[in-house]
Amino acid sequence: MSSTMAGILFIGSLLLALALCYKPLGDYMFRVYTGPRHNAVERLTYRLLGVNADSEQRWGVYARGVLAFSVLSILFLYGLQRLQNHLFLSLGMEAVEPSLAWNTAVSFVTNTNWQAYSGEATMGHVVQTAGLAVQNFVSAAVGMAVAIALVRGFARSKAGTLGNFWVDLVRGTIRILLPIAFVAALLLVAGGAIQTFADHSTWTTLTGGEQTFTPAAAASQEAIKDLGTNGGGIFNVNSAHPFENPTSWTNWLTIFLLTVIASCLPRTFGRMVGDNRQGYAIVSVMAIIAIVSVGVTQWAELSASGTVPQAIGQALEGRETRFGVSNSGMFATATTLTSTGSVNSFHDSYTAIGGGMLIFNMLLGEVAPGGVGAGLYGMLILAVITVFVAGLMVGRTPEYLGKKIGAREIKLASLYFLVTPTLVLLGTAVAMATETGRAAILNAGPHGLSEILYAYTSASNNNGSAFAGVSVNTTFHNTTLGLCMALGRFLPIVLVLALAGSLARQAPVPASVGTLPTYRPQFVGMVVGVTIILVALTFLPALALGPLAEGLL
């Protein structure tokens, strides 16, 4: 079988598996978030937290719950790293220095999981498991909770509340993330992923040399980080490490885990608003963007410019040779279309167009299918902007799912869209304008700009992957990237919840002849167009100076 055909079968089987999961998993999540009963473990958790699980919260209270939980999580994780040398199972690791501890704490709490350090050489077992792995779960559950709150805003009428954050957080963790991660961990162990709490061990390589590393429960954390669409791994090379991602089918499973929950949440959205066609429309937008992205990246990597790549028909440098160029490219596309950050190849080695496409995936807002929860609420914001644009074209007050999109709603949606471009462009500009920021760049010319642009795009969009080729473990970059991660996560969440509260208070508007049907192919095409045009207009100058300029050299 040719490598091209193998790549087609790999991608096709992945799409088929996601399609088969769409209805059952989406329906299950619908039952999780709308069911009236709490199980015994949940009741115990609410009692320990001092939470009245049967009370409902207004959007402001819901937002304060999200922020309070996140701030306490950052402080706890920061303290855990700073005290690491005093903890048991620290494996002799020193305390993490302040700027890196700040960066890592913010990174994992914001579901970014950007790593400016070598995992196996910096973090002991307690920090890896009690700190980072826990945040892999709960930070993803926070994103899901916010998405569900926004959906309730569309679904409810004349209501002042959006549900209970603590109930949504606990249910998402216990009923969705934990069970799937448990099964996925068993599959990864069966595939050869290391599962042990071994101390520093000496392993003999095939060449007869020796290397020291810490295989701390790799299979469990791999399942956790992938399911939560997180990139933080135990090993520095992440999913390119044979102990973390041993075979082609574990590579397939990893990509599946990165995308499955975010791909099925539109079904949950359709069920909650009482119209499954709306869910199909949203997932169709996600699928179109994803398929186009996969196609462009595969084309760029398999027909690269340059004498050597053209001679062999593909660009091999920096790719995972166990998986090949096509499957490495598929992984890279999946990880940048979701809030993942996990990598199995060296993105800095991608062709100019291929690397540019990975940056563009993140600049889209990671909505195809996006992060767990974040992808859905990001796509719904784009749908709101689309119906507003459509309303302007016909001179009619825009409506979406029976709710009017007035001045307040469109201001909140617009501010949401403007947050990450501001952070990306401002962060990149500051880094390029200062000697300290430029000192991290390892390549000159447009490629060096691409490295910095990628870093601040990844941080501001809470992705977590890196172009590499840039030394970001400095006080300057740890601080600025940490700020981008925090603002890029929490400002949009507050705006989403404010929009949800505004929508929930409205009475539904009956559909009329002039109402735009938001479940037809016409609307799907409009959302795709608005998404791409908005990003292109915002970031074209930066992309033109980076990957596009490099591609023309």
Q: Check residue 118 and give its pLDDT.
A: 79
Burial class (CB in 10 A: 0-12, 13-18, 19+), 189: middle
Count Cβ atoms within 10 A of the Cβ of residue 508 and give its class: 0-12 exposed, 13-18 middle, 19 or more buried: middle
E strand segments, 95-205: 201-204
pLDDT at site 33: 98
Q: Which residues of the chain have pLDDT under 50?
A: 200-216, 228-230
Residue 383 CA to residue 192 CA, distance in Å, equals 43
Angle between helices 407-433 and 475-505 in degrees, nearest 10 = 180
CB neighbour burial string for 11-20, b if at least 16 within 10 angstroms, e if fewer: beebeebbee
Residues forming a β-bridge with 404: 399
Q: Where are the alpha helices (DSSP H) in 439-520?
A: 445-460, 475-505
Give CA–CA dist 419/489, Å, rounded.
10
pLDDT of residue 322: 78
Which of 373, 371, 408 minimizes the C-alpha distance to 499?
408
- Give residue 174's Cα distance to chain centre: 20
d(CA 26, CA 266): 7
Q: Decide: 243 and 193 in contact? Cβ < 8 Å.
A: yes
Whose tokens are 């998986």? That residue is 323
Q: Is-contact 211 203, C-beta < 8 A?
A: yes
Q: For residue 212, what is the enclosing H or E element? A: strand 210-213
- Looking at residue 306, what is its pLDDT? 59
447 Cβ partners below 8 Å, 6+ apart? 352, 469, 546, 550
Rounded CA-CA distance 553/543 in Å is 14
pLDDT number for residue 395: 77
Cα–Cα separations (whole angstroms), residue 123 to 22, 81, 82, 100, 241: 37, 8, 11, 12, 17
Q: Enter the tokens of residue 527.
A: 């959302």
pTM over 0.85: yes
> How far is 478 from 75, CA to CA, in rounded Å?
16
**What is the SS3 assignment for 216?**
strand
Contact 468, 447 (CB under 8 A): no
* Spatial distance between the Cα atoms of 458 and 481, rounded to a whole number of angstroms: 9
CA distances to 55, 324, 479, 483, 509 from 100, rounded to whole Å, are: 39, 34, 8, 12, 51
What gap in Å lies between CA 110 and CA 2, rounded to an integer?
Answer: 41
CA distance 413 to 383: 10
